[in-house]
Amino acid sequence: MKAVVNKMAAAKMVRERLGQTIQPTALVHEAWMRLGEQTFESRGHFFVAAAEAMRRILIDRARRKNRDKRGGAPEHLDVAEVEIAAPLGNENEAMEVDGVLDQLAAHDARKAEVVKLRYFVGCSFEETASLLGISVPTAKRDWAYSRAWLRRELAAGP
């Protein structure tokens, strides 16, 4: 199971900027630590939880980087944290999407899960459908709807 999560992390890291030294294994280990000792109802439940953990790690890092660019106070970093540090290719976009993702989840939780798996983790439609227990056409429809919904919400602004 950890190998599949490592594959998910590797897929996400493929979309990162060139020159990054982050390794997908480091992201997986941090996500694994965040998941703790909880039990999972199914394989799909585990992967959704792992995707959420990876999303939060990457968003937290993007926020930290964005704060530092804007003159935030210097922060002490642990050696383990430096290994995982991986800014997203477009930190501002990722933070905006993350900001409205809770609204989408309140509107339709499954569509929000599709966004997490596709946008933040980089899962294919087939992987997303398998993890959520839906068909590939349903995953594609949910993705198309979610993208349009997110564009509308992001264009409306705060």
H helices of the chain, where?
Answer: 2-14, 24-35, 43-69, 79-84, 91-107, 109-115, 125-132, 136-156
Instruction: Output Rg (C-alpha) for the chain, integer angstroms.
Output: 16
Residue 7 vs residue 25, higher pLDDT: 25
The total domain count for the chain is 1
Q: Would you say 135 and 129 are in contact if contact means Cβ atoms under 8 Å apart?
A: yes
> Tell me: the pLDDT tens digits for 9-62?
666 555 554 434 457 777 788 888 888 888 888 888 888 888 888 888 877 777
Range of the domain at 52: 2-156
